[in-house]
Structure formats: structure tokens, C-alpha cells
Amino acid sequence: MIAGYAPENGRLRAVSGPLADIVGLVWIDLLDPTAEEETLLEARLGVDIPTREEMQRLEISGRLYKEEGAVVMTATLAARSDSDDLLLAPVAFVIAGGTLVTVRYHEPRVFKTFPQRATEANLGCADGETVLVALLEATVDRMTDILDRAEIEVDSVSRGIFRAEQPAQAHSDLMKTLQLIGRKGDLSSSIRDCLLSLERLAGFFAQTLADRDDAKDLRGRVKTLSRYLETLRDHSSFLSQKITFLLDATLGMINIEQSNIIKIFSIAAGVFLPPTLIASIYGMNFSFMPELRWAYGYPFACVLMLASAVVPFWYFKKRGWL
């Protein structure tokens, strides 16, 4: 799918059939484009559009570069951000001839919300560069919302772990909590990867604007964006540390629960050991045992076994082991 947008008093206006006439367009958004569509757009713009394989390069030089008067930048963005199961995939931003071309193969939420907002509010979208900066600002706002939601959920998990009164099913709750913490850890790690890629992109884009006298306002916005990305990265690091602490605390509580269970079995074994010893003695098949023919031998043995079980139980209770 291809969507095109033209400027209109600082706003964006959707254009039908963008590839028919790209003159006047400031943003062309390609979602899962075909090879024919990429070839046609490359011929119209005179620039090479990166393919899916090229966008997945790990080298920084393969993600951020200049080519034939065009600036090509690739960042990792997240889709399905309303859940913990984020989908991370690269998105290419190409600026050529005053037009921004975005190439993507997944659907981050910002690519739905930003065009709607840009058509209703004056965001200063006069050319491809201003559209790119506004789009990056919207992306950072979306990352902030995701981090805030994750922090609220992590705080809720923390209150559940350290609540004063633990319910009877605390052990099973801790197992579920462990799974939830693991998902939040994956979420925080994914957001951190996105923020790092956006930081590199913002730094590279700032370098392309450094020698231009007509880009003072853009340089200021990109500089502010870079600082905001740094604060978000610090926020993500703090959240990761808190998740690690909750993970250690949860594992510690699970170990305590397991130790309590083992302690109960150990105390039970200690309590029933003396009665077992007495029963074993009187279970011997010797002909000459003092209590063998005694009329009160059986009640005596039962009372003795009961007393030998009660006395250790009372002792353990007194020492606070139970």
C-alpha cells in the first residue's frame, strides 16, 4: 500500500494515487511495497529505495548513509505496542529532493495516528525534513506512553509482591508474577533497542543539517529530540533495573516458600521419629520381652509413642520453628 501527502498551510493532505504525480508531495509512505512499486518510485525520485534485506543490515554504515544526494536512515520501531508482545522491525526513512519516503513492512501505531494529527493540526510540515522531525517526535511520544504504561504495571507487580498480607495461594501467584516480570523485561529490552536506533538516526540526521544555514530551527528540534531520547533511555535503564530487582525478589520468595515446605517435612520427620523407634522396638519378635505378656503393655506402648511425638512438637513450637 502506498500513501502520499502534500503540504497545506503546515498541515498534511492525503493524495490519492501518489505515484501518478509525485510533484508537490512531501511524504510518501510505502507499506509492504511490491518490487514494481519500488522500481517505479526509484525511477520517479532518482534514488535507490532500500529493500527489506538492506534494511535488516546490522552494520551502522548500512543503516545510515548518503547516496546520490539522498539521505537514507533506518531505525527499529515497534508494532503491537498495546501488548507486551512487541513486533520489532526496521523502518527506512529516505529524504530525496525535499520528499520523505518511508518504507516499512509492519504497522507501528504512530503511522496511523500521526497522519490523522498532521491533517488536523499545523505541525509545520512544509517539506520532507520537517515531516521527518514531526514523525520522529510523534514516535518518541509513543515510546514515552509505552514506557509509562510499563512502569505503572511494574509498580503494580511490586505492590503485589511486597504486600503485607500474603494470600493462601501466594506460591501460585508468585509463579504467575514471575511470568509477568519476564514479559515486562522483554518489553523494556525491546523499547531500549528502539530508542538506541532512534538515537543513532537523530545524531546522523543532525550531522546532515550541521552545515546548512537554513536549517537552524530543524537543528534545534533535532537536538531537543536527541536529549529527550537520552532521558527515555535512562528511564528504560531504570525500569530494567527495577524489573531485575523484582525478578530477584520473586525468585527469593519462591525459594522461601519451597524452604518452608521442606521445613515442614523435616519437622514432621523429627516428630514421628521417636514413635517409629518405639514401634520398631516393640515390633521385634523376641520371646523374652518384659511387656510382652503384660496386660497393660499395648496401652503403655501407645501412650509412650504419643508422648514421644508430643514432646518434640512442643519443643519445636517453643523454639519458634513452627
Same domain, residue pair 221 and 274:
no
- Among 264, 278, 274, which Cα is nearest to 316's? 264
The reported pLDDT for the residue numbered 237 is 87
Q: CATH number, domain at 288?
A: 1.20.58.340
Of the listed ranges 5-9, 107-111, 183-187, 292-296, the least confidently predicted one is 292-296
Domain count for the chain: 2
Same domain, residue pair 250 and 270:
no
Q: Distances from the Cα of 143 to the Cαs of 31, 186, 191, in angstroms?
A: 21, 15, 7
Boundary-marking domain end, from 236, 257, 278: 257
Spell out the residues 6+ positions from residue 94 whose beta carbon is closer than 8 angstroms to its own: 47, 49, 50, 70, 71, 72, 73, 100, 101, 102, 103
| Cβ proximity of 316 and 270 under 8 Å | yes
Same domain, residue pair 78 and 227:
yes
Same domain, residue pair 308 and 168:
no
Same domain, residue pair 226 and 80:
yes
Same domain, residue pair 226 and 278:
no
The CB density around residue 94, as the number of other CB atoms within 10 Å, is 25
Boundary-marking domain end, from 232, 257, 282: 257
Same domain, residue pair 276 and 238:
no
Same domain, residue pair 41 and 172:
yes
The reported pLDDT for the residue numbered 18 is 62
Q: What is the pLDDT of residues 74-86, one digit of tens each?
A: 888 888 877 777 7
Q: What is the pLDDT of residues 146-192, one digit of tens each?
A: 888 888 888 888 887 777 565 555 555 777 888 888 888 888 888 88
- What value does the mean pLDDT take over residues 56-69? 75
Q: What is the pLDDT of residues 19-52, one digit of tens each?
A: 656 677 888 888 888 888 888 877 777 788 887 8
| Cβ proximity of 74 and 63 under 8 Å | yes
Same domain, residue pair 60 and 204:
yes
Same domain, residue pair 163 and 303:
no
Q: What is the pLDDT of residues 258-268, one digit of tens each?
A: 777 787 777 77
Helices (H), the chain: 35-45, 52-55, 110-120, 128-161, 170-209, 216-282, 297-318
> For the chain, what is the mean pLDDT?
81
Q: CATH number, domain at 232?
A: 3.30.460.20
| Spatial distance between the Cα atoms of 310 and 292, rounded to a whole number of angstroms | 25
Radius of gyration, CA atoms only, the chain: 34
* Domain containing residue 280: 258-318
Same domain, residue pair 189 and 289:
no
Same domain, residue pair 85 and 199:
yes
